[in-house]
Structure formats: C-alpha cells, structure tokens
Amino acid sequence: MTIRKSIILYGIAMAVLMGLLKLAEYQFFVRDLSLELYVGLIAVLFVGLGIWVGRRLTRVKVITSPSPFLLDETILKELGITFPAQWDPKLGIHVT
C-alpha cells in the first residue's frame, strides 16, 4: 500500500471516529446520558483505534529472494579469500 493510500485511509478512519464522538456528544447533551457511558464509549473507540493501528504497524513483511545464495568460488580466488580447514563453503558450516 502506498503512503498516499495509507494517509487517506487513516484520514477517513479519523473522520468517522470524530463523527461518532460528535454523535455521542450530541446524545450526551440532548438525552442526558450518564458520564460513565460517555467516557466508556470514548475509551472503547480509542482502544479499537490503538489495536487497529498497532496491527497495521507491526505486520510481518515477508521478503522473498529470487534465488538462493550461491558462493562464487572464482571471485573468492580472485580476491584471495580462503576458508579455514574445518569450513565447508558448499554447506556453509564448520565440519569436524
């Protein structure tokens, strides 16, 4: 998702939340809702927003490689890079 789409999505979400808060405020003043219900509604809205934003920000992003890593021994020889005697460059591990 591009940054522009994310900003638009968050803007729409915030506008909807502000609309819900204004509706709750209207009902609070007109219908005389209890203060606990009003505070609880705001708390639930912000908890939901926090969970949603947290899930969006902590998503696991999988990065795939087009091919597995292969060691190029000709370049290693050109650069003069050698491995210890216990190292197997094909396996990538120490062999004992």
pLDDT in tens, 24-51: 777 666 666 677 777 888 899 899 988 9
Kindly state whether residue 65 falls inside one of the protein's structural domains. no
- CB atoms closer than 10 angstroms to residue 13: 13
**Contact assessment for residue 50 and residue 17, using Cβ atoms and an 8 Å cutoff:** no
pLDDT (average), residues 66-72: 77
**3-class secondary-structure state, position 38:** helix
Kindly state whether residue 21 falls inside one of the protein's structural domains. yes
Task: Say which DSSP state 67 is in.
Answer: S
**Contact assessment for residue 21 and residue 42, using Cβ atoms and an 8 Å cutoff:** yes
Domain range enclosing 26: 3-57
pLDDT (average), residues 74-90: 76
Give the pLDDT of residue 85: 66
Residue 89 CA to residue 63 CA, distance in Å, equals 25
Per-chain mean pLDDT for the chain: 79
Give the pLDDT of residue 93: 67
pTM equals 0.36
Kindly state whether residue 62 falls inside one of the protein's structural domains. no
Give the chain's domain count: 1
Kindly state whether residue 71 falls inside one of the protein's structural domains. no
Kindly state whether residue 12 falls inside one of the protein's structural domains. yes
In DSSP terms, 94 is beta-bridged to 87
Kindly state whether residue 70 falls inside one of the protein's structural domains. no
Give the pLDDT of residue 92: 66
Kindly state whether residue 49 falls inside one of the protein's structural domains. yes
Pair type for strands 93-94 and 87-88:
antiparallel
